[in-house]
């Protein structure tokens, strides 16, 4: 078996007979694997593992590695024990005491507001209670939807509930997130992102496939959740059989209740222990290093057991923090107890996500470095210490510049008390706030502004228009967005050709609305048809989504990694064509993980891009866009298609030769160091960018060279030659840099 284990997949057929000998063991192991990783087995039925070829794939995928039978038995025992403890946990949750009350209220009311602290069991239990309700009612039970603002939460919670119900993920319990559907016709409980449920209105305007909708995490007030609340209120008028549950972790229940015509509120008291709050004496120069120091201080000086939860803002920070903590711990060696560092953020591969729920090693401690996903969406038991940076990354849209960006923003006082609350679930806890007491009471906002009042609405408005909701000013919003924001969004849609001058959806607009991506990207895809480069654009769109997780550079191999990256770059093709070349080379290498590693690329990100690309391709087929290709060396059509979507993100190099000015609003920006165009020799005179990042200053990233004439071609009403001439487009203007292919 060991030898087999080492063989490459290609040799499989030769060893089929040998594998068959191991059938028994494979079966047993599959059982273990199924218990531990049900998601891995779901695509086929159980027999899947009896097919020797598959079985060997299973082996080489490392699903089980230990050939020792006794160990196997232990694993089976552990799985059984886990099942028992799951039932114990379920009945000990605060919400369990209110199950009957909930079921009774359900019989009398269409809408219920459930308000309970994080960790009470709302997300995991309410869908199961509803299932009980419908089963008892008799009748046809359809499906219960439970929305989540975050993809990671939808996946992780579905995994947990499938374990609780003893079924395989994707069967009775499943999840759907954009570009990934793990449900089947049997699925009774479906966790899905709020944005995805909103999309369901396109095909099923009365949500006839569901008999209950749970709007979970309603307090987060994401854009999609807010729109859903209005839509569902409307649907409820016609679908009197539809049960609607609004679930919230904060005490804003009154507002939800009022919105739903004074629906009853089920208030479930939490079981929280006292939490001591500490503030920084002086403002911190760097919250990341302050957080790291605090982690180590707690770990080394606090005798009390208990895990540490640190709130940071994003992947880069979390990975940097992890590295730094691990280095220090290694240096201290056996002088201190073991400290396990678990990161959690949305782009973290699924296999890694589960680690945060594993208990800390005996005598040691676990430190979880999280984004605000751990604020209310995910509960990790055993946390006694919370360290709060006081920041989170927010999607902020500035209607006056028309640009949207992820900005590290101070959190609100309401958020900070949620975060502190994570320390007091299993015993008295402590929360270390890395800001001063003064700033807490004088500088932090009381509560977070609903996303609808700060986000770019163009994508949502396009969707609403295609669902048939035209009168946006009279839509039943809980908190309406500003008229300026609506006007800006309509203007953007008009400039992209999605709406005509009367504000009605055009044919292009309808096609665009079928693609679950930003209107700029969907326009690019549709224009790729005109420019005959759909294959290439699909790859680029999929890769753009992964661009932040694509490259990795080990500390000691920075130069190698940088050189590897440059090999994919072609002058004039910018980051976009480089992404295309990366993907195509990987595909030529038969998607080999080894190839990815040698080129300092993340196999996971590439694989995800491939999945997304496949999904987009299917959607294109559905809306009647036929495949076309221009190859990856003649990239002019590709860039032209990109300009068709991103003309509003055009920028021109300033006289200083270093910074650019965004044409539309005069904003001064710099090229982000991660861009291939950052090198002084590669700085384009005219370019478009797919991303604006604000760190210490405004950066543009994912950049490609353009010829300014293409802007006039793509959006003649937005760009007049005379205007561009003001920016220096004249007879002497070079045709950007060699825009011709070799
Ligand atoms: O939604 P709410 O915050 O009210 O609670 P929940 O997410 O339903 O979590 C209820 C309990 O299940 C908590 O004690 C969690 O720690 C536990 N849980 C878990 O152990 N593993 C998961 N993947 C999810 C929840
Ligand atoms: Mg929850």
d(CA 122, ligand 1 centre) in Å: 8
Closest ligand 1 atom to residue 125 Cα is: 8
Closest CA to 649 of 741, 734, 552, 576: 576
Ligand 1 neighbourhood includes 418 CB (under 6 angstroms): no
Near ion ligand 2, which residues have CB within 5 Å?
Answer: 122-123
Q: Which residue has the tokens 């507001």?
A: 113
When the pLDDT of each residue in the chain is averaged and rounded to a whole number, the result is 86
Ligand nearest the Cα of residue 122 is 1
**Residue range 407-429, pLDDT digits in tens:** 889 999 999 999 999 998 888 99
**Residue range 663-690, pLDDT digits in tens:** 988 889 999 999 999 999 999 999 999 9
Ligand 1 neighbourhood includes 120 CB (under 6 angstroms): yes
Ligand 1 neighbourhood includes 123 CB (under 6 angstroms): yes
Closest ligand 1 atom to residue 380 Cα is: 16
Q: Whose CA is nearest to atom 12 of ligand 1?
A: 121
Distance, CA of 248 to chain centre = 21
d(CA 489, ligand 1 centre) in Å: 38
Specify the pLDDT at position 292: 95
d(CA 154, ligand 2 centre) in Å: 10
CA 612 to CA 106: how far, in whole Å? 39
Q: Which residue among 121, 128, 129, 249 is best mutated to probe the pocket of ligand 1, counting the most ligand atoms within 8 A of its Cβ?
A: 121
CB 577 within 8 A of CB 635: yes
d(CA 103, ligand 2 centre) in Å: 19
CB 158 within 8 A of CB 39: no
Q: Would you say residue 592 has pLDDT above 90? A: yes
What is the pLDDT averaged over residues 240-258? 91
pLDDT-derived band at 466 (thresholds 50, 70, 90) equals: very high
Among residues of the chain, what percentage have pLDDT more than 90? 60
Query: Strand 650-653 to strand 686-694: parallel, antiparallel, or no bridges (unpaired)?
Result: antiparallel
d(CA 610, ligand 1 centre) in Å: 32
CA 248 to CA 239: how far, in whole Å? 23
CB 235 within 8 A of CB 111: no
d(CA 570, ligand 2 centre) in Å: 47
The 10 Å Cβ neighbour count of residue 472 is 19
d(CA 121, ligand 2 centre) in Å: 7
CA 146 to CA 582: how far, in whole Å? 38
Ligand nearest the Cα of residue 418 is 1
CB 400 within 8 A of CB 369: no
What is the pLDDT averaged over residues 527-556? 92
CB-side neighbour CA atoms (13 Å) of 664: 19
Closest CA to 174 of 144, 198, 208: 144
Ligand 1 neighbourhood includes 379 CB (under 6 angstroms): yes
Helix (H) or strand (E) holding 431: strand 429-436
Q: Whose CA is nearest to atom 23 of ligand 1?
A: 160
Q: For the stretch 65-93, what's the b/e string if a residue is b when 16 or more beta carbons lie within 10 angstroms of its beta carbon?
A: eeeeeeebeebeeeeeeeeeeeeeeeeeb
pLDDT-derived band at 84 (thresholds 50, 70, 90) equals: confident
Map residue 429 onto helix, strand or coil.
strand
CA 599 to CA 606: how far, in whole Å? 12
Ligand 1 neighbourhood includes 160 CB (under 6 angstroms): yes
Q: For the stretch 4-22, what's the b/e string if a residue is b when 16 or more beta carbons lie within 10 angstroms of its beta carbon?
A: beeeeeeebeeeeeebeeb
pLDDT-derived band at 583 (thresholds 50, 70, 90) equals: very high
CA 570 to CA 584: how far, in whole Å? 14
Ligand 1 neighbourhood includes 124 CB (under 6 angstroms): yes
Closest ligand 1 atom to residue 118 Cα is: 3
Tell me the range of 17-26, 51-60, 434-443 where mean pLDDT is highest: 434-443
The token pair at 38 is 């049900």
Ligand 1 neighbourhood includes 248 CB (under 6 angstroms): no
pLDDT-derived band at 28 (thresholds 50, 70, 90) equals: low
d(CA 89, ligand 2 centre) in Å: 15
Specify the pLDDT at position 494: 93
d(CA 153, ligand 2 centre) in Å: 8
Query: Which residues are paired to 180 by β-bridges?
Result: 177
pTM above 0.95, yes or no: no
Q: Which of 266-275, 291-300, 528-537 has the lowest mean pLDDT?
A: 266-275
**Residue range 276-306, pLDDT digits in tens:** 999 999 999 899 999 999 999 999 888 888 9
**What DSSP designation does 480 have?**
P
Ligand 1 neighbourhood includes 118 CB (under 6 angstroms): yes
What is the pLDDT averaged over residues 112-116? 95
Helices (H), ranges, 165-314: 194-203, 223-238, 253-259, 287-301
Ligand 1 neighbourhood includes 121 CB (under 6 angstroms): yes
The 10 Å Cβ neighbour count of residue 466 is 18
pLDDT-derived band at 44 (thresholds 50, 70, 90) equals: very low
CB 399 within 8 A of CB 320: no
CA 406 to CA 404: how far, in whole Å? 7
Cα 51 to Cα 6, 46, 57, distances in angstroms: 19, 10, 10
What is the pLDDT averaged over residues 516-538? 95
Q: Which residue has the tokens 């069967």?
A: 171
Specify the pLDDT at position 14: 45
Q: Which residue among 89, 96, 124, 370 is best mutated to probe the pocket of ligand 1, counting the most ligand atoms within 8 A of its Cβ?
A: 124
Q: Would you say residue 228 has pLDDT above 50? A: yes
Strands (E), 355-428: 365-370, 383-388, 391-398, 403-410
d(CA 362, ligand 2 centre) in Å: 28
Ligand 1 neighbourhood includes 122 CB (under 6 angstroms): yes
pLDDT-derived band at 402 (thresholds 50, 70, 90) equals: low
Which long-range contacts link 396-402 to residues 24+ away (Cβ below 8 Å)?
396/454, 396/455, 397/454, 397/455, 397/456, 397/485, 399/482, 399/484, 399/485, 399/488, 400/665, 401/662, 401/664, 401/665, 401/667, 402/488, 402/492, 402/648, 402/664, 402/665
CB-side neighbour CA atoms (13 Å) of 741: 11
What is the CA angle 480-481-486, rounded to 5? Answer: 125
Q: Would you say residue 697 has pLDDT above 90? A: no
d(CA 85, ligand 1 centre) in Å: 13
d(CA 693, ligand 2 centre) in Å: 30
Q: Whose CA is nearest to atom 17 of ligand 1?
A: 379
CA dihedral 351, 357, 362, 365 (to 10 degrees): 100
Q: What contacts 352, CB < 8 A, 6 or more positions away?
A: 343
CA 59 to CA 9: how far, in whole Å? 10
Specify the pLDDT at position 359: 87
pLDDT: which is higher, 632 or 125: 125
Q: Would you say residue 163 has pLDDT above 80? A: yes
Q: What is the ipTM of this complex?
A: 0.98
Helix (H) or strand (E) holding 317: helix 315-332
CA 210 to CA 192: how far, in whole Å? 13
Ligand 1 neighbourhood includes 116 CB (under 6 angstroms): yes
CB 90 within 8 A of CB 230: no
d(CA 549, ligand 2 centre) in Å: 27
What is the CA angle 318-226-665, rounded to 5? Answer: 70
Ligand 1 neighbourhood includes 516 CB (under 6 angstroms): no
Specify the pLDDT at position 541: 95
Closest ligand 1 atom to residue 354 Cα is: 23
């Amino acid at each position: 078996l060991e030898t087999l284990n080492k063989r490459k997949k290609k040799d499989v057929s030769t060893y089929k007979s040998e594998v068959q000998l191991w059938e028994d063991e494979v079966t047993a192991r599959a059982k273990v694997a199924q218990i531990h990783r049900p998601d891995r087995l779901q695509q086929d039925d159980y027999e899947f593992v009896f097919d020797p070829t598959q079985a060997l794939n299973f082996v080489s995928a490392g699903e089980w590695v230990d050939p020792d039978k006794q160990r196997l038995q232990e694993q089976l025992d552990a799985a059984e024990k886990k099942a028992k403890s799951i039932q114990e946990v379920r009945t000990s949750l605060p919400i369990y005491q209110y199950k009957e009350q909930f079921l009774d209220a359900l019989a009398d009311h269409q809408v219920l507001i459930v308000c309970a602290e994080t960790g009470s069991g709302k997300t995991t239990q309410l869908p199961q209670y509803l299932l009980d309700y419908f089963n008892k009612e008799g009748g046809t039970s359809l499906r219960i939807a439970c929305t989540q603002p975050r993809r990671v939460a939808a996946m992780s919670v579905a995994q947990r509930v499938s374990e609780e119900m003893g079924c395989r993920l994707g069967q009775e319990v499943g999840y759907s997130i954009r570009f990934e559907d793990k449900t089947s016709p049997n699925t009774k409980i479906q966790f899905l992102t709020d944005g995805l449920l909103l999309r369901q209105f396109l095909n099923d305007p009365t949500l006839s496939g569901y008999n209950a909708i749970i709007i979970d995490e309603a307090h987060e007030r994401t854009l999609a959740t807010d729109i859903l609340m209005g839509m569902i209120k409307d649907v409820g008028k016609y679908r009197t059989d539809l049960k609607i549950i609004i679930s919230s972790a904060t005490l804003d229940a009154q507002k939800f209740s009022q919105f739903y015509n004074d629906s009853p509120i089920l208030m479930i008291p939490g079981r929280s222990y006292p939490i001591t709050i500490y503030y920084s004496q002086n403002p911190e120069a760097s919250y990341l290093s302050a957080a790291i120091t605090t982690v180590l201080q707690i770990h080394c000086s606090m005798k009390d057991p208990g895990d540490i939860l640190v709130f940071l803002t994003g992947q880069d920070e979390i990975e940097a923090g992890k590295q730094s903590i691990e280095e220090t711990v290694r240096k201290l060696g056996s002088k201190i107890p073991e400290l396990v560092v678990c990161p959690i953020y949305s782009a973290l591969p699924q296999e890694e996500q589960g680690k945060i729920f594993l208990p800390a090693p005996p005598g040691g401690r676990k430190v979880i470095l999280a984004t605000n996903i751990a604020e209310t969406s995910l509960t990790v038991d055993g946390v006694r210490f919370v360290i709060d940076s006081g920041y989170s990354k927010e999607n902020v849209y500035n209607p006056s510049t028309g640009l949207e960006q992820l900005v590290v923003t101070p959190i609100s006082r309401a958020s900070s008390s949620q975060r502190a609350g994570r320390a007091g679930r299993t015993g008295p806890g402590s929360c270390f706030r890395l800001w001063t007491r003064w700033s807490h009471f004088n500088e932090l906002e009381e509560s977070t502004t609903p996303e609808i009042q700060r986000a770019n609405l163009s994508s949502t408005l396009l969707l609403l228009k295609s669902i048939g909701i035209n009168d946006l000013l009279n839509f039943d919003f809980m908190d309406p967005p500003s008229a300026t924001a609506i006007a800006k969004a309509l203007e953007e849609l008009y400039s992209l050709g999605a709406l005509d001058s009367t504000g009605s959806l055009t044919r292009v607009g309808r096609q665009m609305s079928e693609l679950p991506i930003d209107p700029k990207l969907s326009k690019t895809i549709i224009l790729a048809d005109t420019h005959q480069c759909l294959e290439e654009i699909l790859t680029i769109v999929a890769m753009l989504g992964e661009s932040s997780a694509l490259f990795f550079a080990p500390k000691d191999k920075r130069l190698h990694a940088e050189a590897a990256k440059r090999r994919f770059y072609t002058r004039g093709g910018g980051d976009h064509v480089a992404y295309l070349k990366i993907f195509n080379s990987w595909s030529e290498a038969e998607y080999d993980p080894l190839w990815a590693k040698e080129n300092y690329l993340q196999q996971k990100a590439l694989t995800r891009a491939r999945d997304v690309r496949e999904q987009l391709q299917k959607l294109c087929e559905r809306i009647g866009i036929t495949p076309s290709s221009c190859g990856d060396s003649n990239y002019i059509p590709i860039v032209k298609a990109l300009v068709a979507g991103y003309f509003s993100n055009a920028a021109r190099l300033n006289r200083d030769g270093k910074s650019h000015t965004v044409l539309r609003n005069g904003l001064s920006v710099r090229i982000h160091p991660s861009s291939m165009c950052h090198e002084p020799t590669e700085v384009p005179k005219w370019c478009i960018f797919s991303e604006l990042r604000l760190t210490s200053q405004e950066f543009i990233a994912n950049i490609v060279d353009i010829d300014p004439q293409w802007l006039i071609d793509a959006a003649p009403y937005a760009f007049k030659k005379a205007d561009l001439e003001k920016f220096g487009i004249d007879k002497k203007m070079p045709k950007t840099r060699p825009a011709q292919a070799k």
